[in-house]
Structure 1
Amino acid sequence: MSASYEGLRVNEVEKMKFAFQIYETSPDKMDSLMLGDLLRAVNINPSLERMKAFGIGKKAGEKTFNTDECLKIYSELKKEVKDMGCYEDFIECLKLYDKAENGKMLLGELQHSLLSLGEKLSDDQVEKLFDDCMGEENDEGEIDYVPFLQAMCEVQPAAST
């Protein structure tokens, strides 16, 4: 295996090459605007700022990546994954809003957090996220945040023992 793919297992390289074929626009070329979709397809979710650091273009056709370049980016991001938040980290963060410690938080607080903290989402993105992942709000304006996060992260609930 090439040194530029250091840290990647053979099956990870094959998975990335397969995903690249889906997003390529011409033989061994992929528009840079598809880089985020490609990385999400292999379970890597870099921030927009991180993506900009890799040189994604601002419009279609402005820049392309080949398979090797994408593998190098994937390899670098895989090394950083340990520093990124995981499902359990998100649960711990939302527990801060769970004043009654009953697994519920105000929908308005979640919406405010998504719109104003960290890598901010747009109103349209929050609305789509809620449409796709949100359960029903109760009479007090609260939602169960664990099922929301499970749907958002596509995590299966842990089996009860």
Structure 2
Amino acid sequence: MGIAGGRFAFSIYDFDGNDTMDAFFLGDCLRALNLNPTNAAVEKLGGTKLKKQKFLKVEEFLPIFAEVKNSKDEGNNEDFLECLRLYDKHDDGKMLFAELQHILLAVGKYTFVI
């Protein structure tokens, strides 16, 4: 995705239509552009943990998008799968759901509803 894709994604997260995006959604917007920044990287780039603390204009977002796009500091699917292989105790491509849930909750900071 190029600049046009970045502008389009930004416009999706411009909920109020005032050409700004809440920095809380910076990581979501970048991930919507098929990028994989870590939560720590998003914070360093200006993302916030709470809504309505900081707002970005498209002119501020596009350089961030370019930086993340060109960055080599991100995980990929192969890295994730390699980590999961550590829990494949029987070498059959399977793992216990409880272990997967623990990994995602502890390391990935995701929330699951069971």
Cα distance 1:95–1:59, how it changes in 2: closer, same or farther (>3 A)? closer
1:109 to 82, 99, 107: 99
Unaligned segments of structure 1, at least 5 residues: 1-10, 132-161
1:41 to 14, 22, 32: 32
Q: Distance in 1 between matches of 2:101 and 2:52?
A: 35
Q: Distance in 1 between matches of 2:91 and 2:9?
A: 41
Higher relative contact order (CA 8 A, sep 6+): 2
- Residue 83 of structure 1 corresponds to 73
Cα distance 1:102–1:34, how it changes in 2: closer, same or farther (>3 A)? same
TM-score between both structures, scaled by the size of structure 1:
0.61
User: Is 2:10 aligned against 1:20?
Assistant: yes
- Residue 65 of structure 1 corresponds to 56
Aligned alpha-carbon RMSD (Å)? 2.1
The 8 Å contact of residues 23 and 56 in structure 2, kept in 1 or not, is answered as: yes
Which structure's residues are more often helix, by fraction? Answer: 1
Higher-Rg structure is 1
| Count of residues paired in the alignment | 113
Cα distance 1:91–1:69, how it changes in 2: closer, same or farther (>3 A)? same
Question: Which is worse superposed, 82-91 or 11-20?
Answer: 82-91
State the identity %. 42
Show structure 1 runs of 4+ deviating over 6 A.
none
The 8 Å contact of residues 30 and 36 in structure 2, kept in 1 or not, is answered as: yes
Q: Report the alpha carbon displacement of residue 45 of structure 1 after superposing the two structures with TM.
A: 2.8
